[in-house]
Structure 1
Amino acid sequence: MDKILMTTAALTLCGYLTLMFVRPESAASGLEFTTEMFFQALPWMIVSMFTAGLLAQFFDPAVIARILGRESGIRGVLVGACLGLAGTGSRWAAYPLAAGLVAAEASPGAVFAFLTSWQLVSLSRLPAEVPFLGMRFTVIRAALSFALAIVGGLVVDHWVKSP
């Protein structure tokens, strides 16, 4: 099992155990909140895992590697960032999809650009932002966020390639 996961689980358990002795009502409230979040997210997690598994059957890893692989360079990072713009799902959909891209040998930079663009821009969410922040701010923020996804993808590709 993943060391980071195990460490986080151990620290969380220690936190709950400590809180149970110091403020039992807070520990109970935290567990109740955790249970609610779990059951709210569970359907998304299940559907997303099945969707990622299904999508993996439709995409040839060689094609993904050619379009988004290490040899694709800036083009792969740009394609990854553009794919992120189209993202409409929850994090439970995006992360399994990103894991599928990694398994299909997409470059780390392309996956970074995909996730960053999806999280920071996602065109489907922009109309919800405009009424609150205005068109000018939304366009500038989205453009800079998209550029950040691309620059970050290039940096990640360079950093991961370096020894």
Structure 2
Amino acid sequence: MDKTLIGLAAVTAAGYAICAGARPEVAAEGWNEAIDMLVNAIPWILVSMFAAGLAAQLFDSAAIALWLGPQSGVIGITLAALMGLVGTGSRFAVYPLAAGLLAADAAPGAVFAFMTSWQLISLTRLPAELPFFGIRYTALKTAVSLLMAIAGGVAFQGLWGHWQRLR
């Protein structure tokens, strides 16, 4: 099991134990809220995991490595950022997809760019932004966000390579 998960579980359990002693009603409300979130999330998680498993089998690793792999450089990172623009769905769908891209040999910087552009832009949210912010603000925000995703992907790829060499 992952050490980070174990650590987070221990901190959470300690938090509940302390809260149960000091303010039991808050601990009980937190527990009830957590159960409600779990019940709502389980169907999304299950469907997403099955979809990600299928997607991982459908991805052509050679094509992913060619177009989004470490050798694809800035072009692959830019392509991944553009893919993130059309990302729809919840994080329960997109995160497993991103993990599938990593498993199919996409560069970590490309996956970073994909995730960042999906979170910052996502074309499906633009119609909701336009009435509130107008075309000029929305267009500039979209362009800057896309550039941030690409620059972040390049920076992430460089840092990832440096970090890997340190290990």
In the other structure, the counterpart of 2:57 is 57
Long gaps (5+) in structure 1: none
Cα RMSD for the two superposed structures: 1.0
- The percentage of aligned residue pairs carrying the same residue is 53
Q: TM-score, normalised by structure 1?
A: 0.96
Give, in angstroms, the shift of residue 73 of structure 1.
0.3
In the other structure, the counterpart of 1:160 is 160
* Superposition pairs of residues 109-124 of structure 1, within 5 angstroms: 109-124=109-124
1:23 aligns with 2:29: no
Give, in angstroms, the shift of residue 160 of structure 1.
1.3
Q: Name the CA distance, whole Å, in 2 between partners of 1:39 and 1:48.
A: 15
The worse-fitting range, judged by mean Cα deviation, of 123-132 and 145-154 is 123-132
Q: Name the CA distance, whole Å, in 1 between partners of 2:39 and 2:10.
A: 22
Q: TM-score, normalised by structure 2?
A: 0.94
* Superposition pairs of residues 37-48 of structure 1, within 5 angstroms: 37-48=37-48
In the other structure, the counterpart of 1:143 is 143
Give the SS at the match of 1:134: helix
Deviations 1:86-116, CA, capped at 9 Å, x for gaps:
1111000111001101101100110000000
Long gaps (5+) in structure 2: none
Residue identity opposite 1:49 in structure 2: M
In the other structure, the counterpart of 1:108 is 108
Residue identity opposite 1:132 in structure 2: F
Q: Name the CA distance, whole Å, in 2 between partners of 1:40 and 1:129.
A: 27
Residue identity opposite 1:102 in structure 2: L
In the other structure, the counterpart of 1:134 is 134
The worse-fitting range, judged by mean Cα deviation, of 39-48 and 123-132 is 123-132
Give, in angstroms, the shift of residue 138 of structure 1.
2.0
Give the SS at the match of 1:96: helix
Give, in angstroms, the shift of residue 134 of structure 1.
2.9
Q: Name the CA distance, whole Å, in 2 between partners of 1:106 and 1:86.
A: 18
Aligned length: 163
Give the SS at the match of 1:89: coil
